[in-house]
Amino acid sequence: MFNDSSFDDIDARTRSALADHGFGILTEIDVKTTMKKKLDVEMPSYRILGACNPKMAYSAIGIEPRVGAMLPCNVILREAEGGVEVSAVDPVASMQAIENAELTAIAGEVRDLLTKAVEAI
């Protein structure tokens, strides 16, 4: 939980940390804005960043072409009581549906990079 900065500052720091660890942002969903438009409801800031490490994604697709259904790795920023929470998907857990030791190894590397990125925010 980050209580030292604004949501937008944490967003910028998250993007920078992800980039520093080899991730680009492929998708972005502003859930707060979407819910306001679609349902006319108010909610705290909530953003989903679809992060991808191209080298790792290429390796994973080479091992298992259907793995694309599990990409990119979602990183969530949400405004919570006391600050902004940043969390990321666990690629190892999400890849458990495919029994392949090589893919599991790559997912472990991605998890390590995501963990380092979140820790660097």
Residue 97, pLDDT above cutoff 90: no
DSSP 8-state class, residue 70:
G
pTM: 0.91
Q: Give the model's pLDDT for residue 1.
A: 84
Confidence of residue 95 (pLDDT cuts 50, 70, 90): confident
Residue 56, pLDDT above cutoff 90: yes
> How far apart (Å, rounded) are the C-alpha atoms in residues 14 and 117?
8
Question: For residue 68, what are its two tokens?
Answer: 């694309």
**Mind listing the domains of the chain with CATH numbers?**
7-119 (3.30.310.70)
> How far apart (Å, rounded) are the C-alpha atoms in residues 86 and 32?
16
The tens digit of pLDDT for each residue in 2-45 reads 888 999 999 999 999 999 999 999 999 999 999 999 999 999 99
Contacts with 12 (C-beta within 8 Å, 6 or more apart), sequence order: none
Mean per-residue pLDDT of the chain: 95
Judge contact between 50 and 68, C-beta under 8 A.
no
> How far apart (Å, rounded) are the C-alpha atoms in residues 7 and 49?
14
Q: Give the model's pLDDT for residue 31.
A: 98
